[in-house]
Chains A and B, each alone.
Chain A
Amino acid sequence: MDKVKSPLGRSLIHGFLVLFAIYSFIPFFWTALQSFKSLKDANSRTPKFIFTPTWDNYTDLWLRAVPENGATIAYFLLMAVVVLICLLLFAQYIPIRNGVIYAFVTFGFIALLWGIPRLVETAKFYDYFINTIIVTVGTVVVSISIGCLAGYSLARYTGMAGVVVLVAALGFRALPRLAFILPYYWIGTATHLLDTHLLVILTMVAVNQPFTIWMLRSFFMEIPRELEESAMVDGANRLTAFIKVIIPIMWPGIISTALFSLLLAYNEFLLVRLLTQTNWTLPVAISRFTGGEDPRHLTLAAASAVSATIPIVLVILFFQKNLVKGLAAGAVKG
């Protein structure tokens, strides 16, 4: 569209956009503020914007006991995370093969996550955080690897069977989750898999599969057939052509899909709530803080909400372009 030119019109547009930004942002702002308040300040009937900030809510949430040299440890951990993130950001400028750097960073994060409970006494919330990471990573890896194969073959095969699978997947996506989750509960009881990561990951992959294959298929459709056909003329079979030729140029699409799959797994509440008793992920753990009798639930809920949001916001900031592209191109959402 052509742009509005009058200064009044332009300032009205910006005014409205700023209002909408405030509307989108205010729950985050208020919760973040509450999470740094002492219980007395947080419960004050007139909202307090000036107060002495405190880390107490966060330390209570994450730690069983605050170590004496807590500040030093926190500083060290923060530095380690910053270094690892910088390595990721500037990987392409470092004259070492990118794969090596990514492997090192992954290893570094795992070592950190493993090391933290050995440095300080962590509370239950840390275990839930680890559970979330295991379940999320597991779900993304499994659903993307089998989804890529299916998405690719659905993009290339034009027979009837392909259409049936696609339409069936669309139908499954629209059905209420509970219709699947209640039988999963029964299956879990029968196989004694209830409360294990394996069951949660497998069922989460199944529930997200329809979405993943539709989205990946739409990305594969954009890649011209001639690419793998020329490779196959040169003697490669389809699987080799797929891995060597198609996958390398599909990375942006795979990342977009993986991002959505990650959000779905990280956000899932109902499935985890029903299929686990102690191995909760963050959404289930956090839901415990709603409307509890304990007067501390207000500030603890705020601190847990902020804690669960920061990792996901970091990931999204990293990949925002892929997210917007996925929304625009994939045209499917969980």
Chain B
Amino acid sequence: MKRSTFFRFAAPSIFMMTVLMVIPLIMAIWLGMQFMTFANITEPQFVGLRNYIDVLSDGRFWQSFRFTALYVAVVVPSTIVIGFTVALLLDQVSQFTRGIYLSIFLLPFIIVPIVGTLMFKQLFEPSGLFTYLYQTILDTKFRYTDVSVKVLILLYGIWYVTPFALVTYFAGLQTLSQDQLEAASMDGATRWQKIRHIVIPHVQSLTILILLISIMDAYRVFDSVFVLSEMNPIYKADTVMTYTFQTAITVQRLGKANAMAILTVVGVMIVLIPNLIQSYRQQIEER
């Protein structure tokens, strides 16, 4: 394809990305340097880097950063382990039963996150099923505390993201080389050895993919935290995203919120750039 044809075809998309992604990003840097509330949104006051310094010396920002890191560290590995295990088990059953199981397993993934969290929360309301079970089994009352709310957020995260890892692994298992497995059986390899030395290396590229995507999604977590913590600061369960939201909406410090978003972008970029360079090289090679 000629260069000019490419630009003609891709023009609407490139225009959209420039006007609604590149320019807003640059604007956010500039807006981060303003003192701005909803009252003076049309005539903000320039304060230089003060907002950025404000954010970096804000204890609650670092607290929300730590919880976001904890969320990523717990949710991502759990979904990979559970997803892989269930995919292996699903691979064992017949074609027909697979379909039924798969449609049930996919439910948490297709549902609106806000609604899913709401449904999840219904189980832990004072009249909820799990509240009742918790009280009968452990004989203590289930309360919303800073620990239990955090645990609920983590549990929901695992419940919600696992189907994605599961389906991806399951699709990967369908392309396993049968010859290799048979050869391994001839040599007397046990089931565990086959999983360890054939299946896991086979799905390795998928594991990297799932890791990348779920990390990207995990640090941006917002909806479930919004519902489960009810944005109540006493639970100390803010993530970077919900804290930025609160700074913008509740506290009405739009400039500071923009600065916070930009600092998050910078943080993400540091992690992301090696990946981007790698996929850049990959694309160059493939063409």
Contacts and interface: CB of A to CB of B under 8 A. Distances in A.
Interface string B79-90: 000000010111
Interface residues of B, number: 105
A176 B241 contact: yes
Contacts of B216: 173-174
A283 B115 contact: yes
Contacts of B241: 176-178, 270
Given A1-B91, A203-B20, A176 B261 contact: yes
B155 to A, nearest CB: 11
Chain A interface, >50% SS class: helix
Interface stretch (A38-46, A59-67, A109-117): A38-46
Contact of A17 (B21, B86, B279): B86
B17 A209 contact: yes
A266 B112 contact: yes
Contacts of B279: 167, 170
A149 B11 CA distance: 9
A77 to B, nearest CB: 23
A183 B115 CA distance: 27
A157 B283 contact: no
Contacts of A174: 216, 268, 272
A3 B178 CA distance: 12
Interface in A298-320: 298, 301-302, 304-305, 308-309, 312-313, 316-317, 320
A184 B41 CA distance: 13
A189 interface: yes
Interface in B18-40: 19-21, 23-25, 27-28, 31
Nearest to B108: A24
A213 interface: yes
Given A171-B272, A175-B268, A180-B24, A161 B7 contact: yes
Interface stretch (A85-93, A119-127, A250-258, A325-333): A325-333
Interface stretch (A50-58, A100-108, A285-293): A285-293
B21 A24 contact: no
Nearest to B260: A178
Given A2-B185, A283-B115, 20 more contacts: A16-B89, A23-B159, A27-B108, A27-B123, A30-B128, A149-B9, A150-B13, A152-B9, A153-B9, A154-B6, A162-B287, A175-B25, A175-B268, A178-B248, A183-B28, A269-B222, A287-B114, A302-B122, A312-B112, A324-B167
Interface of B: 1, 3, 5-7, 9-10, 12-14, 16-17, 19-21, 23-25, 27-28, 31, 41-42, 86, 88-93, 101-108, 110-116, 118-123, 125-129, 132, 159, 163-164, 167-168, 171-173, 176, 181, 185, 191, 194-195, 199, 209, 213, 216-217, 219-220, 222-223, 226-227, 230, 240-241, 244-245, 248-249, 254, 257-258, 261-262, 264-265, 268-269, 272, 276, 279-280, 283-284, 287
Give the top 9 A-B pairs by smallest Cβ distance, nearest first.
A328-B171, A206-B20, A150-B13, A153-B9, A183-B24, A157-B6, A27-B119, A146-B12, A158-B287
